[in-house]
Chains A and B, each alone.
Chain A
Amino acid sequence: MTAIDERPAPPEAPEERERKALRISWIDLFLWGIRIAAIIVIVFGLFGSISKFVAGEGLTAQGWRDLIVSSLAQGAMYGLLALGYSMVYGVLGFINFAHGEVFMSGTMVGFIAANWLFENGVWTSNPFLAMFLVLIVAMITSTLVAVLVERIAYKPLRGAPRLIPLITSIGMSFFLQYTFGGLFGVGFNTYPPPPEVIAGSVNIFGIDVRSTQLTVIIIAILSMIGLWYFVTRTRSGRAMRAVAEDKEIAGLMGINVDRTIVLVFAVGGAMAGVAAMMWSLLFRSVNFFAGFLPGVKAFTAAVLGGIGNIAGAMGGGVLLGLFEGVGPLLILGGLGIPGVSQLKDAVAFIALVLVLIFRPSGLFGERLGSEDRV
């Protein structure tokens, strides 16, 4: 009996090679089929919605405008959260699943602060100070949690295969969820109502916009400008970009790589804290599980915009917000499918799958370090 039963494969005959070429095109065929189907669905859906709108059924013009603005506000929140995923992926090359829980910790501790301020009357007597304090508390909490997670679960694993920190991040996410659930109770906590100053709506260019949503969009723009300044104009920001580009060479150039990575987590955590504050304005109710879905969607947004690309993350967030807010009603509603607003979450993931099939590097292009570029 021979020990090894494998012979080298005979050189391929020309027909064989042709067959192989055909098989690759079979995958392409499959992908093209999906693309064409997607386009048909979108075109028909749009057509249906427009005809419905013209016929005066469904939402009014004001209704659509409200929907778009609220989707934008939600998208801005996803965008800020997506920054954390995108930056960590750009530098370390893995998905920090626990980032959603970093956000959740911000909302939970922010709730305690908001409640305390509300009970002491600061919330009503001095609303801007109160909101600022809540923002600071949420940011500090999220930053601390993000840095701690990095220290405990990722630092010992520098240099391990990518899959490994992904799994520890799932573990950390479980740990954080249930620790917070245990510490703060599993029920929903409701933030005090937004202060009077931002309770009404404002008229901008003839469109009525709810003030909370406007506030959220303004905060998002401000923090984006701050982040842009930090990343492009400061020394630490430059160090971060260098580490994202190539860790080894950045180290040789005298950059403290470990400290820079901690900084990346801290900045991502701070942005998650800002997003937590926005959540408190938009949705008000939080529980220990609140980080999961926004986290997954924010990651979707990061991929949508091109992972590792900071501006792309924000753009991807806004697009995802629009897509899941307006998309189901505009496209699926136009096709006459009932109960479309329940489809929100599924639509977000279908959007992701489509983007990955159409344009795997994201809409605005991915920016990866030297090791991740293939």
Chain B
Amino acid sequence: MRGRPLLHTSYVSDQAIFNSGTKKVLVGLFLLILALMPLGVIPGLKWAATNSWMRVFGEVAVLLIAALGLNILTGLAGQVSLGHAFFMGIGAYTAAILGGPEGPLWGLGLPIWVWLPAAGAVAALVGVVIAPTSLRVRGLYLAIVTLGLVFIGEHLFRNFDFITGGSQSGRTFPPLELKLWKEEAPIVSFQTDGSWFGIELSSQAKMFYLLVAFAIVASLLAKNIQRSRAGRAFQSIRDRDIAAEITGVDEFRYKTLAFAISSGYAGVAGALFAAFVSRTIPEAFGLPLSVEVIAIVLIGGAGIVSGMVLGSLFVIVLPLIVQNLTEWLSDLARSGEGIVQSIADFFVATGTFDFGLISSLPGSSPGLNVFQFNQVLYGLLIVGFIIFEPLGLYGIWVRIRNYWKGWPFTY
């Protein structure tokens, strides 16, 4: 006999990762889509199988890992850190030293199973060193100290040019391929086109699979950390640190732990990010990256793992949508007619002396160019989300879900 739906009769079933049937179905569907998307067999999602989109979704997966880490520190433990990019940089350059190609810059050419865990471990260690400051300085001061960390880090990265290659040329990062040790031919290479199990795959699709696999593991881990004793301790520190200490939560230990886990995630994400873009300059690990990760956490919904998935999709894909929209509008403004054309023309500047909100021309002209428009929109979205939907995208989802739960009744 079936009881009332969503009635949990034991703590175990209440705390299960997928504690309702809907969640199981939705996650299963999502995973199925992820698995089939690169093959281009899903009707309506065929565009996503192109190389450029595969690359975008790979980036989403990498930033998802970074955001999951920050989510543990900021969303669960309530410690605002603007220094996530610094830890990502530490991870990336650890990976570069260990796994990077031997040459003028430091690089030992070790395989991925050495450099990836090492990147996480070194970043986590640095996080442990930084953590005592979070006991000394609280709240917003911590945000500023970690902001300082980003600047100091950027400076160090720029000046250690025997590791990072300096800001002119940058350096090459280890390739994404599985080797046993330093042998020539990798067992599995994710950066060359080829066929797996008889299916032709591009390198982008292969990297997509790899990064998504990492992201899935990272999400499950994050969810489990959240459900564990440590996760509950983090949340109690977030809600009221003094009350948490009174109930027996060792503040120092758990803050350090939160820092370590968060920066470990950042280190892994940084290493994967660097390997994914394969060549980058020290400035890539600056404040904008930190802000991007924070934006993912807040837009997705702080403290919620599935929110991070939504948030990273949103933050990475939004600029592309804006770009496509601009191109579409400028096409309309050039070749359309009637009222459609005049509306499009109002938004897009197509000529040098044409007024428009967005300019589709290279160089300086009146109106914002696509990149600037993206940044403006980005800023407005952060503000808008926080003012109108403090729980982020997840909050919107909860409202939709609750609406259908009671449908057709209003409550």
Contact = CB atoms under 8 A, between A and B. Distances in A.
Contact of B386 (A6, A23, A167): A167
Using C-beta atoms within 8 Å of the partner chain, give the interface range for chain A.
35 or more
Contacts of A353: 133, 145, 148
A38 interface: no
B378 A360 contact: no
Contacts of B137: 356, 360
A175 interface: yes
Interface in B107-161: 132-133, 135-141, 143-145, 147-148, 151-152, 155
Given A3-B12, A171-B379, A31 B132 contact: yes
A345 B149 CA distance: 12
A230 interface: no
B291 interface: yes
A24, A89, A357, most chain B CB atoms within 10 A: A357
Contacts of A23: 252
A175 B387 contact: no
Contacts of B379: 170-178
Contacts of A9: 248
B380 interface: yes
Contacts of A357: 133, 136
Contact of B364 (A3, A164, A186, A350): A186
Contact of A174 (B78, B138, B152, B378): B378
A3, A162, A163, most chain B CB atoms within 10 A: A163
Contact of A170 (B133, B367, B382, B387): B382
A152 B140 CA distance: 21
Interface string A57-79: 00000000000000000000000
Interface string A225-248: 000000000000000000000000
B140 A166 contact: yes
Interface string A8-36: 11000000000000011001001100000
A215 B378 CA distance: 40
Interface stretch (B173-181, B308-316, B368-376, B399-407): B368-376
Given A166-B140, A352-B148, A153 B372 contact: no
A171 B383 contact: yes
A121 interface: no
Contact of A94 (B140, B145, B298, B372): B140
A30, A168, A350, most chain B CB atoms within 10 A: A168
Contacts of B136: 27, 31, 356-357, 360
Interface string B290-324: 01001000100000000000000000000000000
A336 to B, nearest CB: 16
Contacts of A178: 368, 372-373, 375-376, 379
B11 A4 contact: yes
Given A1-B12, A174-B382, A346-B155, A156 B387 contact: yes
Contact of B383 (A175, A299, A356): A175
A175 B248 CA distance: 44
A43 interface: no
B150 to A, nearest CB: 9
Contacts of B387: 153, 156-157, 168
A1 to B, nearest CB: 7
A179 interface: yes
B367 A182 contact: yes
20 contacts: A1-B12, A8-B248, A30-B132, A152-B383, A157-B386, A167-B386, A168-B383, A171-B378, A171-B381, A173-B379, A174-B375, A178-B373, A181-B368, A187-B364, A299-B144, A300-B148, A343-B155, A346-B152, A353-B145, A357-B133
Interface of B: 10-12, 74, 78, 80, 132-133, 135-141, 143-145, 147-148, 151-152, 155, 229, 248, 252, 291, 294, 298, 364, 367-369, 372-373, 375-376, 378-383, 386-387, 390
Interface of A: 1, 3-4, 6, 8-9, 23-24, 27, 30-31, 89, 94-95, 152-153, 156-157, 160, 162-164, 166-168, 170-179, 181-183, 185-187, 296, 299-300, 303, 343, 345-346, 349-350, 352-353, 356-357, 360, 374
Given A163-B80, A174-B382, 13 more contacts: A1-B12, A8-B248, A156-B387, A157-B386, A162-B139, A168-B387, A171-B379, A174-B291, A187-B364, A300-B148, A303-B144, A352-B145, A360-B136
